[in-house]
């Protein structure tokens, strides 16, 4: 039981309270076979589905199978009011987070010497959430993905993990603002000409991850107010890099498909709009040294 709980916490980023409330129907699979963990209403009172590592899924499946063979009756969940059967349950009731997570962690900390000057363990189960969030950020996950996995209601908490991964943010920052980098878009000229103010550069260094768009970055500063231009491909603040070449290619293909569809329907203005967008993307690709896909 404890091994399963620890592996779930490690690979899902679930909160302590969410782990102990997992139900017997919490494990299934995505269409591609990846295991999926169903985390029922927790701190945010919203159910969410997150991918689960095979190591955790295999152990969890064994626990679920043993629990299904037991004959205990469902009990009423104190948060939702539903009659449920929990994964981590014994005759006296639902197992505690301390028993499942913190007690075994304390033991491992002492064996590994991970204790403070008073001999107290320095690792808690909440560290697993930070690990999952940081790994997602460092491997390029979008903020909404981190929010979905960790169950955050606002992006502010997820931004913590983006800031933790300084090396990744710095690499992304340098790909746009570093000297000699290949960039394209209306905002590229301001960078090449050194027209960005010191204040603008300082803000971008600290908040660069917030500038990301689907196909590049927006260099608009908070003092300039919200962007009023949806067609950001032609916005003076837009800049993109070779890292977005694949997305640019896909977007161009989509625009061409939409243009053809509009042509068949006789919508001349829509044809012009989609072809114009495709042409802008082709110019961006050319500036990046990329050829548009046939």
What's the CATH number where 21 sits? 1.10.443.10
Same domain, 294 and 187: yes
Task: Give a yes or no: residue 156 inside a domain.
Answer: no
CA distance 257 to 13: 40
Beta carbons of 196 and 219 less than 8 angstroms apart: yes
Task: Give a yes or no: residue 137 inside a domain.
Answer: no
Same domain, 118 and 187: no
Strands 35-39 and 48-51, by their bridges, are antiparallel
Same domain, 78 and 186: no
- Asked which of 124, 150, 165 is the last residue of a domain, the reply is 124
CB-count exposure of residue 231 (10 Å: 0-12, 13-18, 19+): exposed
- pLDDT number for residue 242: 85
Strands 93-94 and 183-184, by their bridges, are unpaired
Same domain, 112 and 203: no
Same domain, 204 and 294: yes
Task: Give a yes or no: residue 148 inside a domain.
Answer: no
- Burial call 42-71: b when 16+ CB within 10 Å, e when fewer: beeeeebebebeeebbebbeebbeebeeee
Distances (CA, A) of 116 to 15, 106, 121, 132, 221: 24, 12, 6, 24, 43
Q: Which of 208, 216, 201 is nearest to 165 (CA)?
A: 208
- pLDDT number for residue 163: 54
Task: Give a yes or no: residue 218 inside a domain.
Answer: yes
- pLDDT number for residue 40: 79
- pLDDT number for residue 59: 95
Query: For 31-181, where are the alpha helices, taking DSSP H only?
Result: 54-69, 97, 103-112, 126-138, 143-150, 155-164, 166-177
Same domain, 8 and 101: yes
Q: Which of 252, 253, 270 is nearest to 261 (CA)?
A: 270
Task: Give a yes or no: residue 152 inside a domain.
Answer: no
Helix H or strand E segment including 218: strand 217-218
Same domain, 119 and 187: no
Same domain, 116 and 200: no
Task: Give a yes or no: residue 145 inside a domain.
Answer: no
Same domain, 116 and 199: no
Task: Give a yes or no: residue 269 inside a domain.
Answer: yes
State whether residue 153 is helix, strand or coil.
Answer: coil
Q: Summarize pLDDT for 215-239 with one digit per residue, the tens.
A: 666 666 656 655 544 455 667 667 7
- Asked which of 106, 124, 142 is the last residue of a domain, the reply is 124
Same domain, 109 and 204: no
Q: Summarize pLDDT for 7-60 with one digit per residue, the tens.
A: 999 999 899 889 999 999 999 998 888 899 998 765 555 678 888 999 999 999
Q: Which domain holds residue 21?
A: 2-124
- The tokens describing 112, both together, are 């590994």
Give every residue of the chain whose pLDDT is below 70, as ranges: 41-46, 138, 140, 143, 154-184, 186-187, 191-194, 196, 201-234, 236-237
Same domain, 107 and 6: yes
Same domain, 8 and 115: yes
* Rg, C-alpha atoms of the chain: 25
Number of domains the chain is built from:
2
- Cα-Cα-Cα-Cα torsion 128, 129, 130, 134, nearest 10 degrees, comes to 100
Task: Give a yes or no: residue 58 inside a domain.
Answer: yes
- Asked which of 94, 124, 154 is the last residue of a domain, the reply is 124
């Amino acid at each position: 039981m404890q091994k399963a709980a620890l592996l779930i916490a490690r690979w899902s980023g679930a909160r302590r309270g969410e782990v102990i409330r997992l139900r017997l129907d919490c494990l299934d699979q995505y269409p591609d076979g990846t295991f999926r963990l169903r985390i029922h209403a927790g701190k945010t009172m919203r159910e969410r589905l997150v991918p689960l590592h095979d190591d955790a899924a295999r152990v969890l499946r064994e626990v679920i199978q043993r629990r299904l063979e037991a004959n205990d009756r469902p009990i009423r969940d104190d948060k939702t009011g539903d009659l449920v059967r929990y994964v981590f349950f014994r005759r006296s009731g639902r197992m505690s987070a301390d028993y499942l997570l913190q007690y075994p962690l304390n033991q491992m900390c002492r064996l590994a010497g991970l204790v403070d000057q008073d001999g107290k363990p320095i690792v808690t189960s909440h560290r697993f959430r930070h690990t999952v969030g940081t790994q997602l950020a460092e491997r390029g996950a979008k903020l909404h993905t981190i929010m979905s996995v960790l169950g955050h209601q606002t992006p502010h908490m997820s931004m913590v993990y983006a800031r933790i991964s300084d090396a990744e943010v710095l690499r992304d920052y340098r790909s746009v603002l570093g000297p000699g980098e290949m960039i394209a878009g209306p905002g590229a000229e301001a960078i090449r000409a050194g027209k960005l103010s010191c204040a603008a550069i300082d803000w971008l260094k600290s908040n660069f991850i917030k500038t990301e768009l689907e196909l590049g970055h927006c260099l608009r500063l908070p003092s300039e107010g919200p962007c009023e231009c949806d067609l950001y491909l032609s916005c003076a603040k837009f800049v993109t890099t070779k890292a977005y070449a694949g997305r640019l290619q896909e977007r161009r293909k989509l625009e061409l498909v939409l243009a053809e569809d509009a042509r068949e329907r006789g919508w001349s203005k829509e044809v012009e709009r989609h072809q114009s967008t495709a042409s802008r993307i082709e110019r961006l690709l050319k500036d990046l040294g990329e050829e548009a896909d046939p």
